[in-house]
Amino acid sequence: MLRIALLLIMTLGAGAQDRTGTIQVRVSTDRADWRYSPGQPVKFHIVAVQDGHALEGVKVAYKIGPEMVAPQIEATATLAAGGLTVDGGTMKDAGFLRCIATVEANGKTYRGLATAAFDPERIQPTQKDPADFDAFWSAAKAALAKIPMDARLTPLPEYGNAGAACFHLNLQNVGMSAAPSRFYGVLCEPKAPGKYPALLSVPGAGVRPYRGLAELAAKGVITLQVGIHGIPVILDQSVYDSLGAGALANYNTFGMDQRDRYYYKRVYLGCLRANDFLVSHPKWDGSTLAVTGGSQGGALSIVVAGLDPRVKALAAYYPALSDVSGYLEGRAGGWPHMFRATEGPLAHRSNDKIETTRYYDVVNFARRVKVPGLYSWGFNDETCPPTSMFSAYNVIPGGKHLLLALETGHNQVPEQTALVNAWLEEFLKTGVAK
């Protein structure tokens, strides 16, 4: 045994070691607040880091230009020990200028970015406000009101806790034909007797199950977390995976050629139907109703607040479906980027589809939001570009506060989430948005 051990040491080398690790590509602006005025130059600093130390002698490729459109600068360079500083140019108008840097190593591509803001509060939407927008949605709401709610509740004891009872809820909603559809969610309510505020939680994009917000309900809030696809929300994950890859793939563009058949018409009205249920709940306090969500859910939060006067506050993370027409004007548009492609199967630039989006774009609901709201996103978001989100935010007439987590992309950091949750819970507790 000793001889075998000695042979192994001789073969492998005593103490032989290899190293591997993730490389981080970090890009930053030359201003700590990432903000510039039109005409002011931007410098971007690029560094690649491994094991806490900057790499040198590594090739980096970088692209600089307005977010989500063709870059104005493309170049490669070799990183020095202290990184690389490059001139990013400037912008003539309000908007965002982005630097994306990549490093190839270990057979992988490592990527980082930073986005400079030029007077973002002056960004205005490209999306037009149809003259009959309010009439269209008033008629849609009237049609919904004629359909009985027909609420059906199934207990979900395994979803609850000591302070909250949970139920699978399904409600009758408008359909895509003459027949009604159903709208599903998980209701969580405080077990203790009393009157409570209510919160509607609307979902991000995709197809998935939900478990409800039992922890918040135990604190004294009636919560309803909904899905949007007209299918139960407590099935096995494999069901949603199959639907997401099959029948519901690209659902966000279904029916775009007809404004009365676009997929989101049933979705928007379903969220109002969820509010119909919440305000009819015997434990509701009769006045306090809020809505919250992120991405598609951020969009739905603004839509619901714009359509439903019963909503008294909203908290929206990085809202999608905002100023989707931006690409038609040569700048970034919002998710799902249906107008980004100019040709091919992903191109939707027909007049009828463009017209349909005017009735569903978050910008046009934002114009009608009069209640207090907390909004939060980052400058590096590539799913919901900040140009699109500011297009909606800047036209909101109601009380609004923007919480920026500058470096984030399409995600939240714990500090950001904690502040938004605290704001929302304070409103639900007091009925006053600060």
**Where is average pLDDT lowest: 6-10, 12-16, 119-123, 293-297?**
6-10
pLDDT of residue 15: 61
Question: Tens of pLDDT along 213-224?
Answer: 999 999 999 999
Q: Which residue has the higher pLDDT, 332 or 2?
A: 332
Catalytically annotated residue among 229, 337, 348, 410: 410
Question: Tens of pLDDT along 362-403?
Answer: 999 999 999 999 999 999 999 999 999 999 999 999 999 999
Q: Is the pTM of this model over 0.85?
A: yes
Closest C-alpha to 183, from 144, 219, 213: 144
Mind giving me the DSSP string for 131-166?
TTHHHHHHHHHHHHHTS----EEEE-GGG-BTTEEE
Task: Identify whether 381 is a catalytic site residue.
Answer: yes
pLDDT of residue 72: 96
pLDDT of residue 433: 87
Mind giving me the DSSP string for 253-266?
GTTTTSTTT-HHHH
- 145-170 average pLDDT score: 98
- Cis peptide upstream of residue 197 (ω within 30 degrees of 0): no
Q: In which band, very low, low, confident or very high, does the pLDDT at 22 lie, cut at 50, 70 and 90?
A: confident
Q: In which band, very low, low, confident or very high, does the pLDDT at 104 lie, cut at 50, 70 and 90?
A: very high
Catalytically annotated residue among 28, 181, 201, 295: 295
pLDDT of residue 5: 39
pLDDT of residue 19: 65
pLDDT of residue 333: 98
Q: Tell me the percentage of the chain whose pLDDT exceeds 90.
A: 91
Choices 2.60.40.1930, 3.30.1490.100, 3.30.559.10, 3.40.50.2300: CATH for 23-122: 2.60.40.1930
pLDDT of residue 178: 80
Task: Identify whether 410 is a catalytic site residue.
Answer: yes
pLDDT of residue 71: 97
Handedness of CA 198, 204, 209, 215 (dihedral sign): negative
Cα 329 to Cα 8, 118, 324, 325, 339, distances in angstroms: 67, 18, 10, 7, 10
Average pLDDT, the chain: 95
Domains in the chain: boundaries:
23-122, 133-430
Catalytically annotated residue among 308, 323, 361, 381: 381
Question: Tens of pLDDT along 53-78?
Answer: 999 999 999 999 999 999 999 999 99
Burial of 349 (0-12, 13-18, 19+ CB in 10 A): middle
Tokens of 370: 């009069």
Q: In which band, very low, low, confident or very high, does the pLDDT at 1 lie, cut at 50, 70 and 90?
A: very low
Burial of 129 (0-12, 13-18, 19+ CB in 10 A): middle
Task: Identify whether 45 is a catalytic site residue.
Answer: no
**Residue 81 identity:** A
Whether the CB-CB separation of 110 and 48 falls below 8 Å is answered with: yes
CB-CB neighbours of 12 under 10 Å = 9
In whole angstroms, what separates CA 199 from the centre of its chain?
18
Q: Tell me the percentage of the chain whose pLDDT exceeds 70.
A: 96
Question: Tens of pLDDT along 273-318?
Answer: 999 999 999 999 999 999 999 999 999 999 999 999 999 999 999 9
Q: Measured between alpha carbons, how far is 400 from 389 in angstroms, rounded to an integer?
A: 13
CB-CB neighbours of 191 under 10 Å = 12
Q: Regarding the domain delimited by 133-430, which CATH topology (the fold level of the hierarchy) does it fall under?
A: Rossmann fold (3.40.50)
Q: Measured between alpha carbons, how far is 334 from 325 in angstroms, rounded to an integer?
A: 8
